[in-house]
Structure 1
Protein backbone atom coordinates (compact mmCIF):
# COMPACT_ATOMS: atom_id res chain seq x y z
CA UNK A 1 0.00 0.00 0.00
CA UNK A 2 1.27 3.45 -0.87
CA UNK A 3 2.08 5.77 1.95
CA UNK A 4 -0.01 8.90 2.01
CA UNK A 5 1.61 12.10 0.85
CA UNK A 6 2.22 15.10 3.02
CA UNK A 7 -0.79 17.09 1.82
CA UNK A 8 -1.83 20.00 3.99
CA UNK A 9 -5.25 19.71 5.58
CA UNK A 10 -5.52 15.94 5.13
CA UNK A 11 -5.77 14.07 8.40
CA UNK A 12 -6.44 10.52 7.21
CA UNK A 13 -4.75 8.19 4.75
CA UNK A 14 -6.71 9.55 1.80
CA UNK A 15 -5.87 12.53 -0.37
CA UNK A 16 -8.62 14.85 -1.62
CA UNK A 17 -9.89 13.96 -5.07
CA UNK A 18 -9.21 16.69 -7.63
CA UNK A 19 -12.11 18.09 -9.59
CA UNK A 20 -12.60 16.63 -13.05
CA UNK A 21 -12.01 18.94 -16.02
CA UNK A 22 -15.08 20.65 -17.47
CA UNK A 23 -14.99 18.79 -20.84
CA UNK A 24 -15.13 15.44 -19.03
CA UNK A 25 -18.17 16.27 -16.89
CA UNK A 26 -19.93 18.48 -19.44
CA UNK A 27 -23.34 17.11 -20.33
CA UNK A 28 -24.35 19.29 -23.25
CA UNK A 29 -22.01 17.84 -25.90
CA UNK A 30 -23.00 14.15 -25.63
CA UNK A 31 -26.71 14.99 -25.46
CA UNK A 32 -26.44 17.25 -28.51
CA UNK A 33 -24.52 14.62 -30.48
CA UNK A 34 -26.85 11.78 -29.47
CA UNK A 35 -30.05 13.70 -30.13
CA UNK A 36 -28.76 14.93 -33.48
CA UNK A 37 -27.81 11.38 -34.48
CA UNK A 38 -31.30 10.08 -33.61
CA UNK A 39 -33.02 12.91 -35.47
CA UNK A 40 -30.83 12.42 -38.56
CA UNK A 41 -31.63 8.70 -38.43
CA UNK A 42 -35.33 9.57 -38.19
CA UNK A 43 -35.16 11.78 -41.28
CA UNK A 44 -33.26 9.10 -43.22
CA UNK A 45 -35.79 6.46 -42.21
CA UNK A 46 -38.72 8.66 -43.19
CA UNK A 47 -37.19 9.47 -46.57
CA UNK A 48 -36.37 5.84 -47.37
CA UNK A 49 -39.71 4.52 -46.10
CA UNK A 50 -38.10 2.01 -43.73
CA UNK A 51 -39.86 -0.34 -41.33
CA UNK A 52 -42.05 1.42 -38.78
CA UNK A 53 -40.25 -0.17 -35.81
CA UNK A 54 -37.00 1.61 -36.65
CA UNK A 55 -38.83 4.85 -37.35
CA UNK A 56 -40.52 4.78 -33.95
CA UNK A 57 -37.22 3.88 -32.28
CA UNK A 58 -35.50 6.88 -33.87
CA UNK A 59 -38.41 9.11 -32.90
CA UNK A 60 -38.19 7.89 -29.31
CA UNK A 61 -34.42 8.49 -29.26
CA UNK A 62 -34.84 12.05 -30.49
CA UNK A 63 -37.67 12.68 -28.04
CA UNK A 64 -35.67 11.38 -25.09
CA UNK A 65 -32.76 13.57 -26.16
CA UNK A 66 -35.07 16.58 -26.00
CA UNK A 67 -36.15 15.50 -22.52
CA UNK A 68 -32.43 15.32 -21.66
CA UNK A 69 -32.00 18.96 -22.72
CA UNK A 70 -34.75 19.95 -20.32
CA UNK A 71 -33.26 17.97 -17.44
CA UNK A 72 -29.80 19.47 -17.97
CA UNK A 73 -31.25 23.00 -18.09
CA UNK A 74 -33.30 22.31 -14.95
CA UNK A 75 -30.28 20.96 -13.02
CA UNK A 76 -28.08 23.84 -14.19
CA UNK A 77 -30.63 26.41 -13.01
CA UNK A 78 -31.07 24.61 -9.68
CA UNK A 79 -27.29 24.50 -9.19
CA UNK A 80 -26.97 28.22 -9.90
CA UNK A 81 -29.71 28.99 -7.38
CA UNK A 82 -27.96 26.90 -4.73
CA UNK A 83 -30.51 24.09 -4.38
CA UNK A 84 -29.23 21.38 -2.06
CA UNK A 85 -30.38 18.53 -4.31
CA UNK A 86 -28.86 19.91 -7.51
CA UNK A 87 -25.77 18.52 -9.18
CA UNK A 88 -22.82 20.86 -8.86
CA UNK A 89 -20.48 22.30 -11.51
CA UNK A 90 -22.75 21.80 -14.52
Structure 2
Protein backbone atom coordinates (compact mmCIF):
# COMPACT_ATOMS: atom_id res chain seq x y z
CA UNK A 1 0.00 0.00 0.00
CA UNK A 2 1.55 3.36 -0.99
CA UNK A 3 2.05 6.04 1.65
CA UNK A 4 0.34 9.43 1.64
CA UNK A 5 1.40 11.71 -1.20
CA UNK A 6 0.85 14.95 0.70
CA UNK A 7 1.98 16.04 4.11
CA UNK A 8 -0.68 16.71 6.69
CA UNK A 9 -1.38 20.42 7.26
CA UNK A 10 -0.19 21.91 10.54
CA UNK A 11 -2.75 21.98 13.36
CA UNK A 12 -4.79 25.13 13.78
CA UNK A 13 -4.11 27.34 16.76
CA UNK A 14 -7.52 27.75 18.42
CA UNK A 15 -8.36 29.50 21.67
CA UNK A 16 -10.51 26.71 23.09
CA UNK A 17 -11.53 28.76 26.11
CA UNK A 18 -13.12 31.35 23.83
CA UNK A 19 -14.95 28.66 21.91
CA UNK A 20 -16.35 27.16 25.12
CA UNK A 21 -17.30 30.59 26.48
CA UNK A 22 -19.09 31.42 23.22
CA UNK A 23 -20.99 28.15 23.51
CA UNK A 24 -21.96 28.96 27.09
CA UNK A 25 -23.22 32.37 25.96
CA UNK A 26 -25.33 30.82 23.20
CA UNK A 27 -26.84 28.25 25.57
CA UNK A 28 -27.53 31.03 28.10
CA UNK A 29 -29.37 33.06 25.44
CA UNK A 30 -31.41 29.97 24.53
CA UNK A 31 -32.19 29.43 28.23
CA UNK A 32 -33.43 33.01 28.62
CA UNK A 33 -35.64 32.68 25.53
CA UNK A 34 -37.10 29.42 26.84
CA UNK A 35 -37.75 30.94 30.26
CA UNK A 36 -39.52 33.88 28.61
CA UNK A 37 -41.70 31.50 26.59
CA UNK A 38 -42.76 29.80 29.80
CA UNK A 39 -45.26 26.93 29.51
CA UNK A 40 -45.44 27.14 25.71
CA UNK A 41 -42.35 24.90 25.39
CA UNK A 42 -41.44 21.53 26.84
CA UNK A 43 -39.37 21.75 30.05
CA UNK A 44 -36.96 19.21 28.57
CA UNK A 45 -35.43 22.01 26.46
CA UNK A 46 -34.94 24.21 29.50
CA UNK A 47 -33.11 21.42 31.32
CA UNK A 48 -31.09 20.74 28.18
CA UNK A 49 -29.81 24.33 28.29
CA UNK A 50 -29.03 24.08 31.99
CA UNK A 51 -27.17 20.79 31.48
CA UNK A 52 -25.19 22.20 28.54
CA UNK A 53 -24.11 25.24 30.55
CA UNK A 54 -23.15 23.05 33.51
CA UNK A 55 -21.14 20.64 31.36
CA UNK A 56 -19.35 23.52 29.65
CA UNK A 57 -18.38 25.02 33.01
CA UNK A 58 -17.17 21.58 34.10
CA UNK A 59 -15.21 21.37 30.84
CA UNK A 60 -13.53 24.69 31.59
CA UNK A 61 -12.49 23.31 34.97
CA UNK A 62 -11.01 20.23 33.33
CA UNK A 63 -9.19 22.40 30.80
CA UNK A 64 -7.69 24.40 33.67
CA UNK A 65 -6.56 21.22 35.45
CA UNK A 66 -4.92 19.97 32.24
CA UNK A 67 -3.07 23.26 31.84
CA UNK A 68 -4.87 24.30 28.68
CA UNK A 69 -5.98 27.57 30.24
CA UNK A 70 -3.56 30.23 31.44
CA UNK A 71 -3.26 30.60 35.17
CA UNK A 72 -4.43 33.87 36.66
CA UNK A 73 -1.59 35.72 38.32
CA UNK A 74 -2.40 37.61 41.52
CA UNK A 75 -1.81 41.34 41.19
CA UNK A 76 0.88 42.85 43.35
CA RMSD in angstroms, aligned pairs only = 2.7
Larger Rg: 1
Runs of 5+ consecutive residues of structure 2 not aligned to the other structure: 72-76
> So what's the TM-score if we normalise by structure 2?
0.65
Aligned residues: 64
Runs of 5+ consecutive residues of structure 1 not aligned to the other structure: 3-14, 81-90
Residue 71 of structure 1, CA deviation: 0.8
Q: In the TM superposition, what are the counterparts of 1:1-90 in structure 2 within 5 Å?
A: 20-23=11-14, 26-49=15-38, 50-76=41-67
| Relative contact order higher in (CA < 8 Å, ≥ 6 apart) | 2
> So what's the TM-score if we normalise by structure 1?
0.56
Q: List 4+ stretches of structure 1 deviating above 3 A.
A: none
